[in-house]
Amino acid sequence: MSYSIIEDGHIATPSGYRATGVACGLKGAGKTRDLALLYSQRACKAAAMFTASQTRAAPVFFNQAILARNRESVRAVLINAGQANAGTGQPGLADAVECAKLTADELEVPRDSVLLMSTGIIGVPLPMPRLRDGIRRAASELDSGGGHRAAMAIMTTDTRPKERTYRVGLRDGRSVTLAGMAKGTRMIHPRLATLLCLITTDLAIDARLLVRSLQQSAARSFCRLNIDGDTSPNDTILLLANGATEGAPIVDASSREYGAWQEALDALTADLAQQVVRDAAASGKIVQVQVRGAPNEGSAREVAEAISRSSAVRRAVA
């Protein structure tokens, strides 16, 4: 095993990241954190996966447009909880654009270097006056120890934050840091549903390999979850790599360094996915479906998904 857990680590533990979570009234009155901000001091390569739902929220459309032209210089991610900004039409997309613009201006970074995530009630407009104030405060409160605040801010029906951080030993003697946070307890279905996950690393890696590694890890973890069979318009998994650790970038998928990285990323996403399931099943049961004798992985996945969706099976194990 080429990785080890960093106790009390968080999304801003890798070198060059800062984060925070603030309360700005998006989830009602009180002091509950509901707006998270992550910032990288260096430009990040980005890989992302989005919901399989045919109905997609404004932040998903926005991120897809940004990443179509800018996958190698992302600087920040803004995440709000309370309103999904889904089913909000053109005004919702305009609000998403404004949120990214305000964040970029506060951080003094290019406007196409900010990505967005939203989670919460569908069909409700974003409370922009509160968000404007929250973005300003979040930008002023960023620090390298603020990751736990960010993980708490993205929670909705979650009962606990979901975080994990690893130190990854590469075969050339270097070590890098890998961290993730996630939210989700309901509307979870294979190929993503109500799930948000943000992963950071200070590794230097080729952009195409970053995408490849995320697709493999997500396919073996998040994309195999099924809690209630419902899908969501917001789900996003985002992986950022800022290359802050000195050393040559990983450019060869057959290298030992890439193998060590993939092993750690597989473990991180599996850990976070299990945290999502445990939170959702706090008062129920967790069932793992294993398929043997299938001719290939695709066939095995189809069988497992059919079993996990079956209402008869769910009643039998309830």
- Distance (Å, whole) CA 157 – CA 147: 20
Lookup: tokens for 211: 């995408």
- Torsion angle, alpha carbons of 80, 135, 214, 194, to 10: 0
Of 276, 263, 262, nearest to 224 by C-alpha is 276
Q: What is the chain's alpha carbon radius of gyration, rounded to the nearest angstrom? A: 19
- Distance (Å, whole) CA 292 – CA 295: 9
Lookup: tokens for 53: 């739902």
Secondary structure E strands in 194-256 = 196-201, 236-241
Of 195, 221, 241, 206, nearest to 60 by C-alpha is 195
- Whether the Cβ atoms of residue 288 and residue 244 lie closer than 8 Å to each other: no
- Whether the Cβ atoms of residue 265 and residue 217 lie closer than 8 Å to each other: yes
Q: Annotated catalytic sites, by residue?
A: 194
Lookup: tokens for 167: 């130190």
